[in-house]
Structure 1
Amino acid sequence: MTQSPKGTDAPGLKTAYTATPLPDATIHARTDSYFNRTREIVSHFGDCQVTYAFFIRRPVISAPGLMLEWLKNVMAERNSPYTVDLVHPEGDWVGAGEPLMYITGSFTHLADLETLLLQKLGSPCVAAHRAYQIAISLPDTRFLAMDARHCAGFEMQELMAYAASVGGRTAQRDGAIGFVGTANDAVAPFFGTQDGAGTMPHALIGYAGSTVRAAEMFHEMYPEATLVVLVDYFGQEITDALAVCRRFPELAAEGRLAMRLDTHGGRFLEGLNPQLSYAVLDRHAPESLRRYRSDSELRYLIGTGVSAAAVWRMRDALDEAGFPQVKIIASSGFGVTKCACMADARAPIDIVGTGSFIPDRWNETYATADIVSYNGVERVKIGREFLLPSSQKIQKGKEA
């Protein structure tokens, strides 16, 4: 019987593209040749029941849902029973080298799946950890996963969106708001929604000829949607933000208007320079400037682009003009360090849109699997004895 492990019932899994089983010929073409040959050898000389241990060499957050859903569908197609012992359910912290799970079944039907299973396990677990890191760094801020453009095709996009949802839910358990959505419809169900979030790219403002006109066009087409306006296109973030607010005072008063700061790192937000940025932050969060800071941390606080000082300057301008309900959305380079600096400066950010950080830095993202049992007899290559189920039981006994 196929076992349905607990901890993998994330929103959207049942409709996941990745879960669709591939024809055997496609699996054969996409897997490593030595796994294909192993399957043929085992089929010829006699099948046996094996147990695989899956692990990752660095600490991660467990995100096995897409992998297990795909495995379930493939094994159903092959009419081959198997069981899963999910040692670390979805959202659990996993130490370096700790087995995430044991999968037991026919060697013939599992041998050629290893390559694809590992592809669907390693990167989501690492990305979930990264999503958790940024969410917990700014616990009172909502996050949107906007990484699709940085992914190598839809399958990677789906893995990253799933990972962000897992990391976000883990952060929520630790008191953060976490990830509340993503940029497109296909993966929105992972976040419990049906639609992607977002309003306009810079190209729409270029087409319209002015920030206000772009906002008018959007609102005419989507009058019920929250109006989020990019305000950096013409380098007049404050001027254009206030012009949009005055054009839509009702939306501003209802909290249905937001300004998205995406100022690039080559210039300061309108009206700021190093001295004025320092003054803004010294007024709102002086302690954030009193500690030792690296060059990158100082840039995030008082430098060019979307700095903490820039966010505070926008908030001051909106409040002073009588628009305290207008929200601020920030994007551009938000990783752990930048989020931590924003938290230090108590930057009044309502939502962060993060793109490249979640799928960035692919070193140490690789999952590994070893067979640890053949027909019930424990056996593994020298150096991997820590994966043996009996070894895990002894270790747990010591910890207890």
Structure 2
Amino acid sequence: MSGARHLGIERALDQAFGPHKSLTESEIAARTDSYFNRTRDIVAHYGDCRVTYAFFIRRPVVAAYGLMQRWLENVAQKQGFDFEIVPVFEEGAWVGAGEPLFYLTGSFTALAPLETLLLQKLGAACVAAHNAYQMALALPHVAFLAMEARHCAGFEMQEMMAYAAAVGSDAAKGEGARGFIGNANDATAAFFGIEHGLGTMPHALIGYAGSTVRAAEMYREVFPDDALTILVDYFGQEITDALAVCRRFPDLASQGRINVRLDTHGGRFLETLDPQSSYAVLERHTPGTIRRYRSDRELRDLVGTGVSAAAIWRMREALNEEGFEAVKIIVSSGFGIEKCMAMRDAHAPIDVVGSGSFIPSQWNETYATADVVAYEGVPRVKVGREFLLTQAEARRKGQ
């Protein structure tokens, strides 16, 4: 990750995690696992010691622990203790399965009650960052818009997922991808270097307006300086309605200031398509894409219902045939890693992907673990976790 991008996320974390963003000791005690509270009491009775924890995740991830670290800094400031984090991997780096991300050293009585909450703020963020990184690399010439908020269980998760997408995106940008250019709401926009969320209209506005063209007119009247992004699937007439809006606003279309957003329901095909014509569309534009073996999932993404590669190519065809080559195509609906890879294989003409599918789908993959690996500087760890000591020794020697 480049220094400039890293500093951008650092500033966003500073903004989101001011000194007020913390919990009281009683709140922490109520939310942590009880045996950590009992450990604190026993250690306090017999004498505190300085311990070193190794934090790791059992699957490959992208290191995204800045949010967790900011929270820990706030707690430490409020409770009056010190700690040290020694990174094994810098923020945004790829991390192998089971490799320690960092070592945390501090007072056992201070850190023991925090373990549960620290792990909550680590695992899911690292997996989501890895997913965002893979998606951006799968479609390196496509811009992504983070639309995670609606899929999150409250604002704390929303904030974590937006942060993770920004970290994974920046890692992909370091390898030449466009990555995530923004998100859908104001509260977490700073993670993407913008002040406000991006987006124009939901399906409900089109239902209110009574037609796709009228919804576009209403939007244009209220926001005359904005580019115009239109949803075109409400009435099941994606091509008809997209062309109608472009004809209604030809100047905007010629200037590239109209975006057509495809969000076709997975229960039907895009207007004019069926299985046979979907295969034909891909044969016209990307010969050979569907001639080799494909899994059922890949076939759905390529030629199935909903926002398939064939649907995107068909929309591009229709726009170009009418002279609207400058109109851009935005896609949404289930764009996770696998779907992005299918779109890459089909060379789908996508300009922007709107996605919340970087949120981990298998939650058991997000479980982070922390083990104490040293007591007062003396290495010691439970049987089976000796690899953590090996990593610690290598780090100490600078290898």
Match of 2:147 in 1: 146
Indicate the SS of the match to 2:225: coil
Runs of 4+ aligned residues of structure 1 deviating over 6 Å after TM superposition are none
Whether the aligned pair in 1 keeps the contact of 2:17 and 2:71 (CA below 8 Å) is no
Whether the aligned pair in 1 keeps the contact of 2:8 and 2:193 (CA below 8 Å) is no
Match of 1:14 in 2: 14
The one-letter code of the counterpart of 1:16 is A
Alpha-carbon distance in 2 for matches of 1:36, 1:99: 25
| Alpha-carbon shift at residue 17 of structure 1 (Å) | 5.3
The aligned runs of 1:67-106 (5 Å cut-off) are 67-106=68-107
Alpha-carbon distance in 1 for matches of 2:396, 2:83: 25
Match of 2:24 in 1: 23
Indicate the SS of the match to 1:267: coil
Indicate the SS of the match to 1:110: helix
Match of 2:278 in 1: 277
| Alpha-carbon shift at residue 44 of structure 1 (Å) | 2.2
Alpha-carbon distance in 1 for matches of 2:8, 2:142: 25
Alpha-carbon distance in 2 for matches of 1:305, 1:362: 26
Instruction: Give CA deviations for 1:336-363 in whole Å, capped at 9, x if unaligned.
Output: 2211111111111000011244232212
TM-score, normalising length: structure 2:
0.94
Match of 1:393 in 2: 393
* Pair 1:22–1:9, CA change in 2 (3 A): farther
| Alpha-carbon shift at residue 37 of structure 1 (Å) | 1.4
Whether the aligned pair in 1 keeps the contact of 2:360 and 2:366 (CA below 8 Å) is no
Instruction: Give CA deviations for 1:320-348 in whole Å, capped at 9, x if unaligned.
Output: 11111110000111122211111111111
Indicate the SS of the match to 1:12: helix
Match of 1:160 in 2: 161
RMSD: 1.9
| Alpha-carbon shift at residue 97 of structure 1 (Å) | 1.2
Task: Using the aligned pairs only, state the percent identity.
Answer: 66
| Alpha-carbon shift at residue 39 of structure 1 (Å) | 1.4
- Relative to structure 2, which stretch is displaced further, 353-362 or 155-164? 353-362
Whether the aligned pair in 2 keeps the contact of 1:8 and 1:90 (CA below 8 Å) is no
Match of 1:32 in 2: 33
Structure 1 gaps of 5+ residues are: 1-6
| Alpha-carbon shift at residue 8 of structure 1 (Å) | 7.8
Alpha-carbon distance in 2 for matches of 1:262, 1:59: 31
The one-letter code of the counterpart of 1:210 is S
Alpha-carbon distance in 1 for matches of 2:17, 2:277: 50
The aligned runs of 1:276-295 (5 Å cut-off) are 276-295=277-296
Alpha-carbon distance in 2 for matches of 1:394, 1:141: 40
* Pair 1:233–1:17, CA change in 2 (3 A): farther
TM-score, normalising length: structure 1:
0.94
The one-letter code of the counterpart of 2:16 is A
| Alpha-carbon shift at residue 63 of structure 1 (Å) | 0.2
| Alpha-carbon shift at residue 240 of structure 1 (Å) | 0.4
Match of 1:349 in 2: 350
Match of 2:48 in 1: 47
Match of 1:327 in 2: 328
Whether the aligned pair in 1 keeps the contact of 2:17 and 2:70 (CA below 8 Å) is no
Match of 1:114 in 2: 115
| Alpha-carbon shift at residue 394 of structure 1 (Å) | 4.3
Match of 1:4 in 2: none
Whether the aligned pair in 2 keeps the contact of 1:9 and 1:65 (CA below 8 Å) is no
| Alpha-carbon shift at residue 18 of structure 1 (Å) | 9.2
The aligned runs of 1:256-271 (5 Å cut-off) are 256-271=257-272
The aligned runs of 1:301-316 (5 Å cut-off) are 301-316=302-317
Whether the aligned pair in 1 keeps the contact of 2:129 and 2:358 (CA below 8 Å) is no
| Alpha-carbon shift at residue 252 of structure 1 (Å) | 1.1
Structure 2 gaps of 5+ residues are: 1-5
Alpha-carbon distance in 2 for matches of 1:228, 1:293: 33
Instruction: Give CA deviations for 1:71-104 in whole Å, capped at 9, x if unaligned.
Output: 1111011121111101111111111111111111
| Alpha-carbon shift at residue 225 of structure 1 (Å) | 1.7
Alpha-carbon distance in 2 for matches of 1:79, 1:392: 27
Whether the aligned pair in 1 keeps the contact of 2:57 and 2:123 (CA below 8 Å) is yes
Indicate the SS of the match to 2:196: coil
| Alpha-carbon shift at residue 9 of structure 1 (Å) | 6.4
Whether the aligned pair in 2 keeps the contact of 1:141 and 1:352 (CA below 8 Å) is yes
Alpha-carbon distance in 1 for matches of 2:210, 2:248: 16
Whether the aligned pair in 2 keeps the contact of 1:52 and 1:371 (CA below 8 Å) is yes
Instruction: Give CA deviations for 1:165-219 in whole Å, capped at 9, x if unaligned.
Output: 1111111112211111111111111111111111111011001110011111111
Match of 1:374 in 2: 375
Alpha-carbon distance in 2 for matches of 1:356, 1:178: 14
The aligned runs of 1:175-186 (5 Å cut-off) are 175-186=176-187
Alpha-carbon distance in 2 for matches of 1:160, 1:386: 30
The one-letter code of the counterpart of 1:363 is N
Whether the aligned pair in 2 keeps the contact of 1:145 and 1:182 (CA below 8 Å) is yes
